[in-house]
A and B are shown apart, each in its own frame.
Chain A
Amino acid sequence: MSSNAHGHAESNRLYLIVWGALLFMTIIEVLLAYIQFATAPMLITLMGLSLVKAGLIIAYFMHLKFEQGTLFWALVPMWVLVMILLFVFFPDSFRLHELRFPLP
């Protein structure tokens, strides 16, 4: 948190801008659902927007941007590594169709 007194209203405005950006991206997501977009580009767009939203929440609302850099490096790469490990199994889901017994 900025300790100087005049930075108070300024930082409030910054948070309101972030809030507006989050709402705007949510509206885009809902619009995509309304126009029945194709599945693959829809999924990519939704996940892209969600990652941007998550980044904004973590950086500004949760204040990670204003903390010491070591905190970021202690928290985020570990999470990313676990995600990579989880996704190691994911390609199996595409093969499961062929591994099933055909229905009678």
Chain B
Amino acid sequence: MQSHGAGEVGVPAWDGGVAPFAIPSKKLGMWLFIVSDAITFAAMLIAYSYVRVASDVWPKPFHFYPSIIVSSVMTFCLLTSSITMVMAVAAAKRADIGATMKWLGGTMAGGLAFLILHANEWMTLIEEGLRPTSNAWGETALFGATFFALTGLHMTHVTIGVVLLLVLALGYKNGRYPADYVEIGGLYWHFVDLVWMFIFPLVYLMSVAVEH
């Protein structure tokens, strides 16, 4: 990764000719976006925890089966799509277009499986009477607001990620995009996976219905 650093450009450091973080500017841009997006998600998770602590009752609607099992499968899909993304980036660095397409396809399939399972989960909860302003189980209407806001924003990110990967895959195949672009798109994809690693325990695992 040192190839983008000092020396390559041939301009002294104090004349602005060097990438100070030894990465391409687009990659630095993605990193800065990811940090700001991480702050957005953290703020929402903290707000969710805040209203949950401040509420007298909080619904625990997720039965271990099917909700927790299905959301665990969703977690598996995202984690696995992350490892296929790593493989896609490695293949792109080797300029192996066929393997890159295969791994990117696998990553998109993982993302799509996540989206389909999650949409199904939403439909089930909506049929059970969950709305952003009310629900059928408890008094705390904020449950619906926090649930739809958190998982909805995350689903939006996954959707954007799948579209981004499709655009990157087509552009890389046609030779319009360099391998770096696949890596930068991969950064975003891993971040979406990372966010789910916090939403899954805080929203699902902390709200498992008490079985009798």
Give chain A residues whose Cβ lies under 8 Å from the Cβ of B72: 26, 30
Q: Closest approach, in angstroms, between the C-beta of B96 and any C-beta of chain A?
A: 11
8 Å CB contact of A97 from B54, B85, B94, B198 = B54
Q: Closest approach, in angstroms, between the C-beta of A94 and any C-beta of chain B?
A: 6
Give chain B residues whose Cβ lies under 8 Å from the Cβ of A19: 79-80, 82-83
Given contacts A26-B79, A62-B194, 20 further A-B contacts (CB under 8 A): A15-B83, A29-B205, A33-B68, A34-B64, A34-B208, A36-B211, A39-B206, A47-B201, A54-B197, A61-B83, A62-B190, A66-B1, A74-B21, A75-B35, A78-B35, A90-B50, A90-B53, A93-B50, A93-B51, A94-B53
> Does B87 have its Cβ within 8 Å of any Cβ on chain A?
yes
Interface pairs A-B: 9 shortest CB-CB: A46-B201, A96-B54, A93-B53, A33-B205, A93-B54, A19-B83, A68-B22, A61-B190, A71-B21
Bound-complex Cα distance A32 to B56 (A): 24
For chain A, the count of residues having a C-beta within 8 Å of the partner chain is 50
Bound-complex Cα distance A84 to B38 (A): 14
A71 touches B23 (CB 8 A): yes
B90 touches A8 (CB 8 A): yes
Residues 131-173 of chain B: 1 if any A CB is under 8 Å from the residue's CB, otherwise 0?
Answer: 0000000000000000000000000000000000000000000
For chain B, the count of residues having a C-beta within 8 Å of the partner chain is 54
Majority secondary structure, A binding face = helix
Give chain B residues whose Cβ lies under 8 Å from the Cβ of A47: 201
Give chain B residues whose Cβ lies under 8 Å from the Cβ of A79: 35, 38-39, 42
A75 touches B90 (CB 8 A): no
- Contact sample, A vs B, 22 pairs, CB 8 Å cutoff: A8-B90, A15-B87, A22-B79, A23-B79, A29-B200, A29-B201, A34-B68, A36-B210, A36-B211, A50-B197, A58-B190, A61-B86, A63-B187, A67-B1, A68-B1, A68-B22, A68-B23, A71-B23, A74-B21, A83-B42, A86-B42, A92-B54
